[in-house]
Structure 1
Amino acid sequence: MPIFEAILFAILQGVTELFPISSLGHGVIVPDLFRWQMDRNSEAFLPFMVVLHLGTATALLVYFHRDWIDLFRGFFRASGKPDNPQSRLLWQLAVGTLPAGLLGLLFEKKLRLLFGNTTLVLVFLSVNGVILLVGDRLKRRGGGKPLDALGYGSALRIGFAQALALFPGISRSGSTLVAGLGSGLDYASAARFSFLLATPIILAAGLLEIPKLMHMTGDIPFALIGVSGVISGVCAYLSIWFLMRYFNRHDVEALRPFGWYCLMVGILGLIWKLAK
């Protein structure tokens, strides 16, 4: 893999993993569109992606480290019972993590077969755009509850929404944000829950693959893989910083720009594929 492609892909992964525009979708579309030399079937590509995901997870942990410290303090203070807001939120995150975790273990290998189908990815990206536009309509109908008002049923529904990101082109943060808005949360609270919910899934996806790294060889030097992971993490941190401020400042239609972007890229991409 050429160095500039690895660096650009790391930037792309770091930004699109947390922006509601699908990292998996862009990871398929961009290399195909610009005819990159990278081979997603290469033995070296898996460790490359693992390190990029660990970079993203590290960025999430660093940005929300105070939240996680408070959550576990509250959990141990309540002896594991949902007797305070922090302990209750930690349990809700655990409940919300189950659907994507279980469905990912059961169907990830089958769903990976979709990654090479650029046309299908473009369709899913268009669907993602519609989901985001629907989310803004849900927000205009009301809501605005803080995160403390979230129930366990809503946390589970948001968890099932996160599982939609197993389809390349559907955004993890986008689907969970919309599900949070549908549960009555305001943008900032929905975004906070979405990013906290994404942390264990992204981290686990990387950690589970680490043992395989020791037995793999390929055309990507380990130094380049490490540098790419750092770049992905830095870009992810900057993305979180921007998005949390963005959602705090917008009361309505915060998802609309991302929704129209996904629709535009998806539809124009399909036209381009059909015209080839």
Structure 2
Amino acid sequence: MDIIQAISLALLQGLTEFLPISSSAHLILLPVILGWEDQGLAFDVAVHVGTLTAVVAYYRKDLLTIIAAWFGSFTGKGASDDSRLAWYVVLGTIPVGLAGLSMPHSLEESLRSPLVIATSTIVFAMLLWASEKFAKERRTVVTLFDALLVGVFQAIALIPGTSRAGITITAGLFSGLQREQAARFSFLLSIPVIALAGMLKAFELFKSDIEVMWAFMAIGAAVSCVVAYLTIGWFLKLLNRIGMIPFVWYRLALGIVLFVVFIR
């Protein structure tokens, strides 16, 4: 790895982690297209730390309120929308955690195929389109049903090309949440998911004999953090103005290009 590759991958991770276009697909495809060697486990950990820091920083006030309400529910203050939201984030994380732990490593490797990515990119683009076209946006408060539905859909995002942000926002829209609330719940759900994924990768890194290039890791974490933080704010503003359709068209175009390039 060199400095150009490190910055390019960190920029890509920061930009795509919270957009409905699949960060894992882009991180897999860019080295393939440019003929780079795999960036390695250590760098994956670093850029995940960066995006986790970004979403925690962006929602820091919300998180403090939610955590305070959650602890308050144990001390006689009673349940509130914020304390329930804390439980819903935990509940929504369980399906993807169980699916990730039970997935065989061989299956995980086979799913990293460009053709799998192309297929899931197109299939879930159509699902995203359907949610934009037919979903009725009504509610601003997350319910138990929302948490269960979004949590189950989030587990599907283990398939590269699906997009964790895309599939969870899609599920939120189908369940009746308004766009901004569906995106907010999706981003809050990303905190435990990214943290757990990062810890798992860090554990694998600790057990391995991989040489850690600390300078590149620091660059990757910093760049992905700044870009992800800016992307969250930009995406939320854009979401209310133009909706999800531009991302649908991007996914369809990307999927078609992948099929053309990799089917020979």
1:184 equivalent to 2:180? Answer no
Q: Deviations over 1:133-187 (max 9, x none)?
A: 1121133xx22311x2x32122111011111110000000000001000111111
Candidates 58, 67, 70, aligned match of 1:72: 67
- Tell me if the contact between 1:20 and 1:258 (Cα under 8 Å) persists in the aligned partners: yes
Residues 101, 227 of structure 1: alpha-carbon distance in 2 compared, 3 angstrom cutoff: same
Matches within 5 A, 1:143-158: 143-146=137-140, 148=141, 150-158=142-150
Question: Cα distance, 1:111 vs. partner?
Answer: 3.7
Residues 223, 168 of structure 1: alpha-carbon distance in 2 compared, 3 angstrom cutoff: same
1:273 equivalent to 2:262? Answer yes
Residues 209, 117 of structure 1: alpha-carbon distance in 2 compared, 3 angstrom cutoff: closer
1:228 equivalent to 2:228? Answer no
Normalised by the length of structure 1, the TM-score is 0.89
Question: Cα distance, 1:262 vs. partner?
Answer: 0.5
The residue that corresponds to 1:2 in the other structure is 2
Q: Deviations over 1:56-77 (max 9, x none)?
A: 1110100001111000111122
Q: For 1:39, give the aligned amino acid.
A: D
Residues 14, 108 of structure 1: alpha-carbon distance in 2 compared, 3 angstrom cutoff: farther
Residues 172, 261 of structure 1: alpha-carbon distance in 2 compared, 3 angstrom cutoff: same
Q: For 2:16, give the aligned amino acid.
A: T
The residue that corresponds to 1:86 in the other structure is 82
Q: Give the share of equivalent positions with the same residue, in percent.
A: 34
The residue that corresponds to 1:124 in the other structure is 120
- Tell me if the contact between 1:25 and 1:168 (Cα under 8 Å) persists in the aligned partners: yes
Q: Deviations over 1:66-112 (max 9, x none)?
A: 11100011112221787111101111111111101111111162442
Residues 83, 124 of structure 1: alpha-carbon distance in 2 compared, 3 angstrom cutoff: same
The residue that corresponds to 2:130 in the other structure is 134
- Tell me if the contact between 2:112 and 2:160 (Cα under 8 Å) persists in the aligned partners: no
Residues 115, 234 of structure 1: alpha-carbon distance in 2 compared, 3 angstrom cutoff: farther
For residues 166 and 75 of structure 2, what CA distance do their matches in structure 1 show?
30
1:31 equivalent to 2:63? Answer no
- Stretches of structure 2 lacking an aligned partner (at least 5 in a row): none
- Tell me if the contact between 1:114 and 1:121 (Cα under 8 Å) persists in the aligned partners: no
Q: For 1:196, give the aligned amino acid.
A: L
Q: For 1:10, give the aligned amino acid.
A: A
For residues 107 and 19 of structure 2, what CA distance do their matches in structure 1 show?
22
Normalised by the length of structure 2, the TM-score is 0.93
- Tell me if the contact between 1:21 and 1:171 (Cα under 8 Å) persists in the aligned partners: yes
Question: Cα distance, 1:219 vs. partner?
Answer: 6.4
- Tell me if the contact between 1:132 and 1:175 (Cα under 8 Å) persists in the aligned partners: yes
Question: Cα distance, 1:208 vs. partner?
Answer: 3.0
- Tell me if the contact between 2:129 and 2:244 (Cα under 8 Å) persists in the aligned partners: yes
DSSP-derived class of the 1:79 partner: coil
DSSP-derived class of the 2:19 partner: coil
